[in-house]
């Protein structure tokens, strides 16, 4: 259900009248297409360097991950510390279904996306059923992430263990070429933005905001908190899986480090915290910023973790709401109180 | 089989002490110290550098323990100040994030600057026979040290008024304030303890296998797993859970494999959270 | 001994109690009565450092203790037993009592006085506080407070959940202590009992003090009688 919803570009299936839906669509499509237009220029600039284009594709993948995480954590407050693992289900799932099982690539990606979505939804459902608070949800999902990493390492027969999996399928496909892979990834990310934007504007988004601000009040107002949490997890995890799967195919290989906690989750949290937890376009800003920063730091090896660590501290101490909301606040204050 | 179980107990004692250091801070202050593993590694580095500078081993170990305690104190005075200003869930969440940031900074720096550094304390002498099983001398010495430390901890918490005061903060923070106990002071004491315990684990572990700079996050993960199973704020629970998980882990590693053995531990922690969140002996919310 | 002036307190900027002014003199037993939600607990918590008042002052023995955290206030010679008691559940009766004397070692004489007042506690010395009944826990909470030999004892609803016989016993024990010089401040919903054992009282209604007087005066006051004594 969520899969088809994402593919059905932009039509608000949930809530609202038809006209309302059309208005929402316009105010959403314009910024999104603007972002798309700007990002579409990147290949013009970097197109010659295969290395830099790969970095750009990775940046888009992270944008996708961050949007998914934003939907799960930013919208419904579920601290999923298994972003990498869910993306890994998408990535490894696609690789295995395409190569080992022999399915066509789009089908493999689809199945892997559904798998990631279901796992994320299951985690959310468990957390809801057991009334796990934010911390325990974080710990349980962290446990899942670590277990997944070890599963990848341990089931070498299926996954290639530590050295990873070289993907044979799609070597001549669309996702192999740098530019085509970039545009496919960009399209997917834009779709994610639209999906998230539409959700926010619909009654689903209203429910999200209500339950995030005051869960008890939301329940009293008739919001089925559990259901919306699981919805958010299903959609967000689908995004993670899809981004992970497409990225895997564009790279032609996957390894445990591709989706490890220290490689993905940490970075995604920083990207989202920087851009703005819960803000729609925050993930794009965060992903763009840190992809660029990471490129400058790539020669420093382990030392890269130092600024990331420092940033986590600085961000959560002083700019906990992220750049976009904070800037928005500052601008609102400058404009002065409304008459 | 006996040999494996004994090895499991040796490992379990280490797990237990790790968890003790971790759970005291979590149970008393509501702080998740994800930089705990790095505290252990830094203490190990202090011992290593001292030994390299020619300091005799016992003194170097002492320096390591002092380093651990100091790190705990520094933590309390710096990174934990903003965390103390929050309460409850907000505090745990912020502590998780800030200590994670510190952990990354320390880990990144150490791995970049001293990638090959490893502490290894050789205990001279041949294997010691324990109920028919030859055990490496380092394992025995390390385990005995840990048992002594646990004994000291129990004596402190049960037998001294300061120890009871600390326990009371874990039991009921408001209640402890009502009898004139300052929770912030108790937390500072516990953080120093926690640092020293991390150092002890690093030192005793190095008697069995080298402790490298990459050991930081694995140590924290193990501490977290055993703490979750043992229960918040319970040193007894930490020991119990440590021993159980140590034996299970060793059995699993021998008969199934390293990665799957770790998965079993992780699953044990997850199951505990889902079925009995307060752990084996923790305070029931 | 205790002077409260113009105190206001509440949660997150909203005051629940306003402009509270009252006194407790040395050796007196004073009650504050009011129905559920009148603000008694909020008042006491803000007076004794479990939360901060938004306005006003609190002075104990002439010293300003406004906003002072609980652990420092109680060291001045008073003890506050809140409605939730805040006992240490996994510690024994003996350990709970010993901690009452913190930072000093528990005085054997004081301990035996407490056990005389509450024989049930003596029977259960080694029992964990969390496994005891409500009445026993209440006794333990008071006993713990007494271990530091306070000069002022403040009790928030000490008889909630207690069977009438136990409630009476508790107050009789307090009367004994009064005879030995203890000053008492009690917040109560069980008004008739409090009236019998106190000298003066204040009525707290909707966050303000609406009446004050000696306990006898209040007992005779028609408004008090209808609201709290069930007399029409």
The ipTM value here is 0.88
pLDDT by residue (tens digit) across B15-61?
999 999 999 999 888 899 999 999 999 999 999 999 888 888 889 99
Give the tens place of pLDDT for each residue, A127-179: 988 888 888 899 999 999 999 998 888 887 777 777 777 877 777 777 777 88
Whether B165 and C80 lie within 8 Å, measured CB to CB: no
DSSP chain B: -HHHHHHHHHHHHHHHHHHHHHHHHHHHH----TTHHHHHHHHHHHHHHHHHTT--HHHHHHHHHHHHHHHHHHHHHTTHHHHHTS-HHHHHHHHHHHHHHHHHHHHHHHHHH-TT-EE-----S-PEEETTEEE-HHHHHHHHHHHHHHHHHHHHHHHSHHHHHHHHHHH-HHHHHHTT--HHHHHHHHHHHHHHHHHHHHHHHHTTS-EEGGGHHHHHHHHHHHHHHH-TT-HHHHHHHHHHHHHHHHHHHHHT-HHHHHHHHHHHHHHHHHH-TTTTT----
Averaged pLDDT for residues C89-118: 88
Q: Which of B171, B180, B283 sits opposite C103 (nearest CB)?
A: B180
Alpha carbon dihedral A87, A93, A99, A105, in 10-degree steps, equals: -70
Structure tokens at B42: 């830094």
Mean pLDDT of chain B: 89
* pLDDT for res B284: 55
Residue A2, pLDDT above cutoff 70: no
pLDDT digits (tens, 9 = 90+) for C6-19: 888 888 778 888 88
| CB-based contact C70 B178, cutoff 8 Å | yes
Q: Which residue of B has its CA nearest to A77?
A: B93
Residue C94: closest C-alpha in chain B: B164
Does C79 lie at the interface with B, CB-CB under 8 angstroms? yes
Estimate to the nearest angstrom the gap between the alpha carbon of A326 and the chain centroid. 22
- C6 min Cα distance to partner chain B (Å): 24
- A63 has a pLDDT exceeding 70: yes
| Rounded-to-integer distance, Cα B58 and Cα B64, Å | 10
Provide the 8-state DSSP code for A99: I
Which token pair is B166? 């600390």
Counting beta carbons within 10 angstroms of the beta carbon of residue A333, is it exposed (0 to 12), middle (13 to 18) or buried (19 or more)? exposed
Of the residues B84, B168, B178, B236, the best mutation for testing chain C's interface (the one with the most C CB atoms within 10 Å of its CB) is B178
Cα separation, C33 vs C191, whole angstroms: 7
Band of the pLDDT at C3, cuts 50, 70, 90?
confident
Q: For chain A, what percent of residues have pLDDT higher than 90? A: 30
Rg (CA), chain C: 17
Angle B183-206/B36-52 helices, nearest 10 degrees? Answer: 60
Chains A and C touch, using 3 or more CB pairs below 8 Å? no
- Residues in chain B within 8 Å Cβ distance of C100: 179
Tokens of C167: 């409630």
Interchain proximity C148–B179, CB inside 8 Å: yes
CB contact under 8 A, C99 and B165: yes
* Residue range A256-310, pLDDT digits in tens: 888 998 889 989 998 998 988 888 888 999 999 999 888 888 877 778 888 888 9
Question: Is the pLDDT at A14 greater than 80, yes or no?
Answer: no
Reduced to 3 states (helix: H, G, I; strand: E, B; else coil), residue A301 is helix
Structure tokens at C37: 């939600």
Asked if B100 and A301 come within 8 Å (Cβ–Cβ), the reply is no
The shortest CB-CB distance from C102 to any of B165, B172, B174 is to B165
8 Å CB contact of B283 and C75: no
pLDDT above 90: percentage of residues in chain C: 13
Phi-psi region at A187: left, alpha or beta (left = phi > 0; alpha = psi -120 to 50): alpha
Q: Is the dihedral of CA C166, C172, C176, C181 positive or negative?
A: positive
Taken as a whole, chain C contains a residue count of 232
HSE-up of residue A99 (Cα within 13 Å, Cβ side): 22
- Token pair of C49 as six digits: 């450092």
Question: Residue with structure tokens 């040395």?
Answer: C26
Q: Nearest-CA distance from B113 to chain C in Å?
A: 45
CB-based burial label for A27 (10 Å; 0-12, 13-18, 19+)? exposed
Q: What share of residues in chain A are helix, strand, coil (percent, to 5)? A: 80, 0, 20
pLDDT at A164: 79
Chain pair B-C, CB pairs under 8 angstroms: 73
Q: How many CB atoms lie within 10 A of CB A276?
A: 25
Cβ <8 Å between B161 and C105: yes
Mean pLDDT score of chain A: 83
B256 in A contact zone (CB under 8 Å) = no
Region of A170 please: left (phi>0), alpha (psi -120 to 50) or beta: left
Q: Is B278 on the interface with C (CB under 8 A)?
A: no
Mean pLDDT is lowest, of A176-185, B213-222, C84-93, for A176-185
Q: In Å, how far are A106, B174, C121, C178 from C135, measured between CA atoms?
A: 69, 20, 11, 21
CA distance C39 to A134: 32
Distance CA B206, CA A236 (A): 44
Q: Band the pLDDT of A75: cuts 50, 70, 90.
A: confident
> Of B89, B111, B266, which has the smallest distance from its Cβ to A143's Cβ?
B266
Q: Is A193 helix (H, G, I), strand (E, B) or coil?
A: helix
**Backbone phi and psi for residue C226, each to the nearest 5 degrees, phi listed first:** -75, -40
Ranking A311-325, B54-68, B94-108 by mean pLDDT, the lowest is A311-325
Burial-class residue C199 by CB neighbours within 10 Å (0-12, 13-18, 19+).
Answer: middle
The shortest CB-CB distance from B98 to any of A146, A304, A313 is to A313
C-beta atoms of C81 and B177 within 8 A: no
CB contact under 8 A, A311 and B101: yes
B165 neighbourhood in chain C, CB within 8 Å: 99, 102-103
Q: Which among B261, B163, B204 has a CA at the least distance from the CA of B68? A: B204
Q: pTM, whole model, 2 decimals?
A: 0.84
Q: Give A115's Cβ-side CA count (13 Å radius).
A: 21
Phi and psi of C125, rounded to 5°? -50, -40
Q: Which chains touch A (3 or more CB pairs under 8 A)?
A: B
Chain C residues within an 8 Å CB radius of B157: none
pLDDT tens for each residue of A82-116: 999 999 999 999 988 888 888 888 899 999 999 99
Higher pLDDT, A207 or C92: C92
Q: Does the beta carbon of B182 lie under 8 angstroms from any beta carbon of chain C?
A: yes
Q: Counting Cβ atoms within 10 Å, is residue C67 exposed (0-12), middle (13-18) or buried (19+)?
A: middle
* Best to test chain C binding among B180, B232, B234, B278 (most C CBs inside 10 Å): B180
Helix (H) / strand (E) containing A127: helix A105-129
DSSP state of C199: S
Contacts with C70 from chain B: Cβ below 8 Å: 174, 177-178
Write out pLDDT tens, residues C192-206.
888 888 888 888 888
Which of B5, C163, B193, B112 lies closest to A301 in space, CA to CA? B112
> How far is the alpha carbon of B276 from chain A, nearest alpha carbon, in Å?
10
| Residue A207 pLDDT | 81
Tens digit of pLDDT for each residue in B130-167? Answer: 777 778 888 888 899 999 999 999 999 988 889 999 99
| Residue B179 to residue C144, Cβ atoms within 8 A | yes
DSSP one-letter code for C1: -
Chain centre to alpha carbon of residue A222:
29
Which residues of A are less than 8 Å from B226 in CB distance?
none
Query: In angstroms, rounded to a whole number, what is the distance separating the alpha carbons of residues C123 and C121?
Result: 5
Looking at residue A32, what is its pLDDT? 85
* CA B145 from centre of chain: 14
Q: Is C197 on the interface with B (CB under 8 A)?
A: no
Strand order in the sheet with C200-205: C78-81, C152-156, C183-188, C29-33, C200-205, C208-214
Cis peptide bond upstream of C103, omega within 30: yes
CA distance B227 to B18: 9
pLDDT of A335 strictly over 80: no
Q: Please tell me the distance from the alpha carbon of residue C17 to that of residue C209, in angstroms, as a whole number.
A: 9
- Closest chain B CA to residue A131: B274
| C98:B179 CB<8 A | no
Report the C-alpha gap between C206 and C19 in whole angstroms: 12
| CB within 8 Å: B277 and A304 | no
Distance of CA B18 to the CA centre of its chain: 2
C-beta pairs of A280-283 under 8 Å, 24+ apart in sequence: A280/A193, A280/A196, A280/A197, A280/A200, A281/A31, A281/A35, A281/A193, A281/A324, A282/A66, A282/A70, A282/A74, A282/A322, A282/A323, A282/A324, A282/A325, A283/A63, A283/A66, A283/A67, A283/A69, A283/A70
pLDDT, tens digit (0-9, with 9 covering 90-100), for B71-102? 999 999 998 888 888 877 888 888 998 999 99
Lowest mean pLDDT segment, chosen from A15-29, A244-258, B68-82, C174-188: A15-29
Q: Is C226 a residue whose pLDDT tops 80?
A: no
What tokens appear for A301 in the block?
């090896």
Pairing verdict, β C183-188 and C152-156:
parallel
Instruction: Tell me whether residues B266 and A147 touch, CB distance under 8 A.
Output: yes
Tell me how far apart the alpha carbons of residues C82 and B178 are, in angstroms, rounded to a whole number.
9
* Residue position matching structure tokens 């940046």: A59
Please report, rounded to a whole number, the percentage of residues in chain B having pLDDT higher than 90.
54
Residue B180: pLDDT over 70: yes
The shortest C-alpha distance from B243 to chain A (Å) reads: 20
Contact yes or no for A313 and B101 at CB 8 A? yes
> Which pLDDT score, from 0 to 100, does residue A6 have?
32
CB C164: neighbour CB atoms within 10 A? Answer: 10
**Which residues in B lie closer than 8 A to residue A132 (C-beta atoms)?**
273-274, 277
Residues 6+ apart with CB under 8 A from A322: A272, A273, A274, A275, A276, A277, A279, A282, A286, A315
Q: Are C60 and C4 in contact (CB under 8 A)?
A: no
* Nearest in space to C55 (alpha carbons), one of C17, C2, C82: C17
> In the numeric block, which tokens belong to residue A8?
């059905």
B280 or C156: whose pLDDT is higher?
Answer: C156
User: In terms of DSSP bridges, do strands B211-212 and B118-119 run parallel, antiparallel, or are they unpaired?
Assistant: antiparallel
What local confidence, expressed as pLDDT, does residue B283 receive?
63
Question: Do B91 and B30 touch, CB atoms closer than 8 A?
Answer: yes
Which token pair is A304?
Answer: 């890269």
Q: Closest Cα to residue A24, out of A265, A223, A194, A181? A: A194
CA gap B270, A164 in Å, rounded:
27
* Average pLDDT in chain C: 86
Give the model's pLDDT for residue A299: 78
C50, C71, C99: residue with CB nearest B164: C99
């Amino acid at each position: 259900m969520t899969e088809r919803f994402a593919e059905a570009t932009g039509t608000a299936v949930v809530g609202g009248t038809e006209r309302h839906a059309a208005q929402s669509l316009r105010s959403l499509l314009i910024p999104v297409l603007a972002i798309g237009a700007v990002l579409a220029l990147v290949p013009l600039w970097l197109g010659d360097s295969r290395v830099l284009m790969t970095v750009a594709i990775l940046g888009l993948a992270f944008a996708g991950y961050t949007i998914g995480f934003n939907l799960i954590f930013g919208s419904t407050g579920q601290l999923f510390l298994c972003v990498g693992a869910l993306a890994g289900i998408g990535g490894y799932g696609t690789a295995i279904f395409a190569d080992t099982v022999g399915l066509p690539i789009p089908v493999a990606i689809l199945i892997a996306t559904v798998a990631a979505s279901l796992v994320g939804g299951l985690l959310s459902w468990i957390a809801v059923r057991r009334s796990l608070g934010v911390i325990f949800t974080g710990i349980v999902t962290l446990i899942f992430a670590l277990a997944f990493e070890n599963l990848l390492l341990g089931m070498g027969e299926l996954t290639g263990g530590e050295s990873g999996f070289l993907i044979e399928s799609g070597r001549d496909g669309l996702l192999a070429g740098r530019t085509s892979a970039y545009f496919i990834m960009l399209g997917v990310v834009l779709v994610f933005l639209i999906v998230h934007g539409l959700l926010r504007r619909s009654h689903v988004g209203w429910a999200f905001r209500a339950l995030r601000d005051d869960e008890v009040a939301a329940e009293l107002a008739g919001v089925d908190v559990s259901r919306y949490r699981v919805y958010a997890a299903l959609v967000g995890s689908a995004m993670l899986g899809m981004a992970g799967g497409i990225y895997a195919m564009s790279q032609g290989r996957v390894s445990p480090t591709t989706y490890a906690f220290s490689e993905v989750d940490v970075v995604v949290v920083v990207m989202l915290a920087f851009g703005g937890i819960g803000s729609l376009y925050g993930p794009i800003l965060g992903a763009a910023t840190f992809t660029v920063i990471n490129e400058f730091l790539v020669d420093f090896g382990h030392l890269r973790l130092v600024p990331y660590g420092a940033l986590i501290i600085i961000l959560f101490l002083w700019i906990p709401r992220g750049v976009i909301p904070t800037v928005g606040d500052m601008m609102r204050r400058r404009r002065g109180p409304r008459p | 089989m006996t040999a494996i179980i004994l090895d499991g107990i040796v490992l379990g004692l280490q797990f237990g002490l790790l968890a003790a250091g971790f759970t005291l801070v979590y149970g008393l202050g509501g702080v998740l110290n994800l930089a705990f593993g790095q505290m252990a590694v830094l203490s190990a580095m202090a011992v290593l550098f001292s030994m390299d500078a020619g300091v005799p081993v016992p003194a170097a170990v002492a320096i390591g323990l002092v380093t651990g305690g100091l790190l705990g104190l520094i933590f309390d005075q710096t990174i934990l100040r903003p965390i103390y200003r929050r309460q409850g869930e907000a505090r745990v969440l912020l502590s998780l994030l800030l200590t994670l940031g510190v952990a990354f900074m320390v880990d990144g720096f150490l791995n970049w600057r001293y990638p090959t550094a490893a502490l290894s304390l050789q205990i001279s002498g041949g294997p010691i026979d324990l109920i028919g099983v030859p055990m490496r001398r380092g394992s025995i010495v390390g385990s005995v040290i840990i048992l002594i430390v646990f004994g000291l901890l129990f004596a402190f918490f049960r037998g001294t008024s300061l120890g009871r005061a600390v326990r009371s903060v874990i039991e009921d923070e408001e209640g402890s304030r009502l009898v004139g106990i300052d929770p912030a002071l108790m937390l500072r004491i516990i953080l120093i303890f926690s640092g020293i315990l991390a150092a002890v684990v690093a030192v005793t572990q190095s008697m069995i296998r080298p402790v490298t700079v990459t050991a930081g996050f694995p140590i924290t993960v193990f501490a977290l797993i055993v703490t979750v199973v043992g229960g918040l704020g319970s040193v007894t629970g930490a020991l119990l859970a440590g021993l159980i998980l140590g034996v299970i882990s060793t059995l699993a590693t021998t008969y199934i494999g390293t990665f799957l053995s770790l998965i079993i531990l992780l699953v044990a922690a997850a199951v505990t959270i889902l079925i009995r969140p307060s752990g084996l002996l923790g305070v029931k919310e | 001994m205790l002077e409260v002036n113009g105190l206001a307190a509440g949660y997150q900027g909203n005051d629940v109690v306003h402009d509270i002014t009252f006194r407790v003199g040395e050796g007196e037993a004073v009650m504050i009565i009011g129905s559920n939600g009148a603000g008694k607990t909020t008042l006491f918590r803000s007076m004794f450092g479990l939360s901060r008042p938004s306005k006003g002052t609190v002075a104990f023995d002439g010293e300003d203790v406004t906003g002072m955290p609980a652990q420092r206030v109680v060291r001045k010679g008073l003890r506050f037993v809140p409605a939730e008691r805040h006992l240490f559940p996994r510690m024994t009766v003996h350990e709970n009592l010993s901690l009452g004397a913190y930072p000093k070692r528990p005085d054997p004489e004081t301990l035996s006085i407490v056990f005389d007042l509450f024989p049930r506690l003596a029977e259960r010395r080694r029992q964990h506080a969390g496994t005891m009944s409500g009445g026993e826990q209440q006794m333990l909470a008071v006993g713990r407070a007494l271990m530091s030999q306070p000069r002022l004892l403040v009790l928030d609803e000490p008889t909630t959940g207690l069977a009438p016989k136990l409630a009476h016993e508790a107050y009789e024990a307090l009367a004994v202590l009064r005879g030995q010089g203890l000053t008492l401040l009690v917040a109560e919903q069980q008004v008739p009992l409090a009236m019998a054992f106190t000298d003066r009282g204040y009525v707290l209604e909707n966050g303000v003090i609406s009446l004050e007087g000696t306990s006898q005066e209040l007992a005779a006051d028609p408004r008090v009688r209808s609201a709290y004594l069930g007399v029409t």
